């Protein structure tokens, strides 16, 4: 079976920020997608750009954690990056975190909105600060470029969990 996703993207460039919004309609309910999204340690199961994610305590607004990108970027990130902070966590609806970058921050917001034929999954990535262009070139492009892979893997995980639960 082939699943067709609706995709739309937008780019905003204002002053010291770069924002990219990607969205797809996934053929699952928000509750099915929530399990792999809310378990930060499982993010590498669906995000091809990550090798590991660790939380410093339970997932809650204000909690911190550390993510490690794949490859060379991950080795550098592991040595120099500060922890991310969860800025929003609304069950079955939204997860957001803020990752400090040199002289600024990356903000990632993932939202789930139930629609007639499934769930609209939206990823909003914003880089701010004077180093934003460098950070977009180093990691931002991949965060956006691999959105379709993330969506397909989330659907696989949600479907497998739903089948396991029944």
Q: What is the 3-state secondary structure (H, E, C) of the chain?
A: CCCCCCEEEEEEEECCEEEEEEEEEECCCHHHHHHHHHCHHHHHHHCCCEEEEEECCCCCCCCEEEEEECHHHHHHHHHHCCCEEEEEEECCCEEEEEEEECCEEEEEEEEEEEECCEEEEEEEEEEECCCHHHHHHHHHHHHHHCHHHHHHHHHHHHHHHHHHHC
Residue 166 lies inside a defined structural domain of this protein: no
Residue 136 lies inside a defined structural domain of this protein: yes
pLDDT for the residue 5: 34
Q: How confident is the chain (166 residues) per 10-residue block, as mean pLDDT? A: 36 64 95 94 92 93 91 69 94 94 86 96 86 66 80 94 62
pLDDT for the residue 80: 72
Residue 96 lies inside a defined structural domain of this protein: yes
Residue 63 lies inside a defined structural domain of this protein: yes
Which residues span the domain enclosing 24? 7-160
Question: How far, in Å, CA of 95 to CA of 92, rounded?
Answer: 9
pLDDT for the residue 12: 42
pLDDT for the residue 100: 87
Chain position carrying tokens 């990550």: 50
Give this prediction's pTM.
0.84
- Structural tokens at position 131: 């180093």
- Compute the C-alpha angle 38/121/49, nearest 5°: 65
Residue 124 lies inside a defined structural domain of this protein: yes
Residue 165 lies inside a defined structural domain of this protein: no
Tally of domains within the chain: 1
Check which CATH number belongs to the domain holding 130 and give it: 3.30.530.20
Residue 29 lies inside a defined structural domain of this protein: yes
Residue 104 lies inside a defined structural domain of this protein: yes
């Amino acid at each position: 079976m082939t699943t067709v996703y609706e995709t739309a993207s937008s780019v905003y460039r204002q002053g010291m920020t770069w924002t990219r919004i990607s969205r797809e309609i996934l053929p699952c309910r928000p509750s099915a997608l929530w399990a792999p999204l809310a378990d930060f340690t499982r993010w590498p199961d669906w995000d091809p750009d990550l090798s590991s994610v660790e939380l410093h305590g339970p997932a809650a607004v204000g909690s911190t954690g550390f993510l490690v990108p794949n490859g060379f970027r991950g080795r550098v990130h592991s040595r120099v990056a500060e922890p991310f902070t969860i800025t929003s966590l609304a069950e079955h609806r939204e997860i957001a975190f803020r990752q400090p970058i040199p002289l600024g921050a990356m903000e990632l917001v993932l939202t789930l909105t139930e629609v007639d034929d499934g769930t609209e999954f939206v990823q909003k990535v914003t880089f701010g600060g004077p180093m934003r262009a460098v950070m977009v070139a180093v990691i931002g492009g991949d965060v956006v470029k691999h959105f379709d892979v993330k969506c397909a893997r989330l659907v696989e995980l949600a479907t497998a969990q739903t089948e396991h639960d029944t």
